[in-house]
Amino acid sequence: MTQRYGVRISWADLPDRIRQRVEAVVGGPVVRAASQTGGFSPGTADRVVTADGRRAFVKAVSTRLNSRSVELARAEARVTAQMPPAAPVPRLLAAFDDGEWVVLIHEDVEGRHPRTPWVEDEIAATVRALRELAAALTPSPLSGVPTAAEQLAPSFGGWARLAADPPPGLDPWVVTHLDDLRAAADRGLAAVATGATLAHCDVRADNLLVRPDGSVVVVDWPYGCVGPAWLDTVLLAMNVLVHGGPGDALLAGVDRRTATDVIAAFTGDFLERSRHPSPGIPHVRAFQRAHAEAVLPWLRRRLAG
């Protein structure tokens, strides 16, 4: 499927005072910056290089650009600042928040996003990375992060919101199965209320980097939360399904109904949110709708089975 992401500002668009603070952390004047694709924040996502070759990855967003993106940046800073060295995630070098701008400075990980449609070796490498994550983050070594149930309770109400106010043109199968879908989402929320692992909770291709050696690093952590160790694997399977790959194979170690219920809950959230405006973040609603529509045929088969 075709991906469309947000429209970002770049390193050159940052106020002088912000660039100077970043350069103080990185260790010299930035002479080159390359904006990265992926994600929907309107803020920067730049690989920067200093005059003497030092590198870093800079994310910066302001309240004027989008207040929700600022909230997510603050959440990501809290999570990544506490990551143990064994976790396959980028190291946070520094973060600062002046009330208007929130800036995160990470190590620059050499790598690229996995190919989509997904290919077998990169699926396998991502599964290994998620296992390493679970080993390093169980029990969760972080403080001040929500549980998965707290994080996902609003999202898992998507089918209930659609049932209360069905939009015109809603898929006929969805209309006739709203009660079943609401029940599945409720079971999914109960299922994610278990476990003690710090989960990423937003695993998809553009939140992963494949290193030159084939290993995978998990990036972008604003939704980090404490839940079951299998949650990120289910989200990986969903993303593989979205892109037309063998997502079912990834779910072999997860209870069949639980996996179906959790994917149903995320699908309802995507579908319901896609009908609302998203000021300042273009394309995200089209992205959500496309993902929901890609998963619905699979969901119909699973619920029928």
DSSP sequence for the chain: -----PPPP-GGGS-HHHHHHHHHHHTS-EEEEEE---S--SSEEEEEEETTS-EEEEEEEETTT-HHHHHHHHHHHHHHTT--TTSSSPPEEEEEE-SSEEEEEE-----BPPPSS--HHHHHHHHHHHHHHHHHTSS---SS--BHHHHHTTGGGHHHHHHHSPPTT--HHHHHTHHHHHHHHHHHHHHHT---EEE-S--SGGGEEE-TTS-EEE---TT-EEE-TTHHHHHHHHHHHHTTS-GGGGGTTS-HHHHHHHHHHHHHHHHHHTTS--TT-TTHHHHHHHHHHHHHHHHHHHHH-
Chosen domain end from 77, 106, 135 = 106
How would residue 286 be classed by pLDDT, with cut points 50, 70 and 90?
confident
State pLDDT tens for residues 203-212: 999 999 999 9
Task: Give domain status of residue 3, yes or no.
Answer: no
Domain assignment of residue 228, given as a range: 120-304
Task: Give domain status of residue 244, yes or no.
Answer: yes
Q: Please indicate, yes or no, whether residues 83 and 160 belong to a single structural domain of this protein.
A: no
Q: Please indicate, yes or no, whether residues 62 and 84 belong to a single structural domain of this protein.
A: yes
pLDDT for residue 6: 54
Q: Please indicate, yes or no, whether residues 94 and 163 belong to a single structural domain of this protein.
A: no
State pLDDT tens for residues 122-145: 999 999 999 999 999 999 999 999
| Number of domains into which the chain is organized | 2
How would residue 287 be classed by pLDDT, with cut points 50, 70 and 90?
confident
Q: Is the pLDDT of residue 38 over 80?
A: no
Average confidence score pLDDT of the chain: 94
Q: Average pLDDT of 203-231?
A: 97
Q: Please indicate, yes or no, whether residues 76 and 168 belong to a single structural domain of this protein.
A: no
pLDDT for residue 283: 78
Q: Is the pLDDT of residue 55 over 90?
A: yes
State pLDDT tens for residues 95-132: 999 999 999 999 999 999 999 999 999 999 999 999 99
Q: Is the pLDDT of residue 4 over 50?
A: no
What's the CATH code of the domain at 300? 3.90.1200.10
Q: Average pLDDT of 178-204?
A: 98
Chosen domain end from 57, 84, 106 = 106
Q: Please indicate, yes or no, whether residues 86 and 173 belong to a single structural domain of this protein.
A: no
Q: Please indicate, yes or no, whether residues 190 and 43 belong to a single structural domain of this protein.
A: no
State pLDDT tens for residues 149-185: 999 999 999 999 999 999 999 999 999 999 999 999 9
Q: Please indicate, yes or no, whether residues 73 and 141 belong to a single structural domain of this protein.
A: no
Lowest mean pLDDT among 45-49, 226-230, 244-248: 244-248
